[in-house]
């Protein structure tokens, strides 16, 4: 892949090798998803892992939405 830009390389690659926030693989509302923990039992959705196609149309399951979950 070739990237043509006028930005300095240090700025383009800033944060490339760093680890992101810790994510949890949880099941909520019968859907398996990756979340970033915000508080105990609450998290911000990063991505849906195992769901039906119609679940992607649900605005409450959009990435960035907050969801409550419990460990079963």
pTM higher than the cut 0.75: no
Span 19-52, pLDDT tens digits: 878 999 999 889 999 999 999 989 999 999 999 9
- Report CA Rg, the chain: 16
Residue-level pLDDT at 71: 59
Residue 13 reports pLDDT greater than 90 = no
- Annotate 21-72 with DSSP letters as a single string: ---EEEEETTEEEEEEEEETTEEEEEEEEE--GGGGG-GGGSTT-EEE----
Question: What is the pLDDT of the chain when averaged over all its residues?
Answer: 90
């Amino acid at each position: 892949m070739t990237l043509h830009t006028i930005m300095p390389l240090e700025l383009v690659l800033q944060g490339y090798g760093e680890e992101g926030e810790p994510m949890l693989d949880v099941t909520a509302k019968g859907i398996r998803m990756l979340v970033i923990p915000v508080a105990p039992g609450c998290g911000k959705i990063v991505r849906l892992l195992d769901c039906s196609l119609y679940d992607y149309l649900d605005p409450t399951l959009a990435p960035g939405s907050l969801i409550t979950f419990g460990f079963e």
